[in-house]
Chain A
Amino acid sequence: RKEVEQDPGPFNVPEGATVAFNCTYSNSASQSFFWYRQDCRKEPKLLMSVYSSGNEDGRFTAQLNRASQYISLLIRDSKLSDSATYLCVVNRQGAGGTSYGKLTFGQGTILTVHP
């Protein structure tokens, strides 16, 4: 089983639509969760961290369910500029601090927003 799994999509939605991405992680000891965005042939950029109580940043809402080891990202009122690959990212856990700062990336979910 992969450490971080995402539905690869692609998701093709019209402008203004609401779209949701899901992600599951395998290590129950994971503590930090993020959504990154990666444009074609570019580096990933942090979209938002994900907190236990859920958090919102404008049109983006992230939620975490620790019991189910499940993370979600909701995008409301999609814009053309939202077209990108969305990466679910989880901190890696390991013994003795050997994994300090290390991140595990999901394979990404491709979103295309069309006019």
Chain B
Amino acid sequence: GENVEQHPSTLSVQEGDSAVIKCTYSDSASNYFPWYKQELGKGPQLIIDIRSNVGEKKDQRIAVTLNKTAKHFSLHITETQPEDSAVYFCAASETNAGKSTFGDGTTLTVKP
């Protein structure tokens, strides 16, 4: 089955700095890669996703890159704000309607 590894497990940055979270996956059949933000006591919230026919996608301060050959994808958050503090999960699935395999999560702390 699919195995997703995520690094780092914790990340602390100063407000205004950039944050980068990296994930690798094992199943070459995976073709959909969502990123979720989870705040304490809440469900994961989809913040951005990318499909395997795209190398990069950007939405305001958030961008995701995908290297399908190397089987890794990354989340980039620029101009971080304290409200970006949360746990971020990457995930991979074979189709965007299939089950998702999650990474272990990254706890991001943005210091004012």
A, B from the same assembly: no
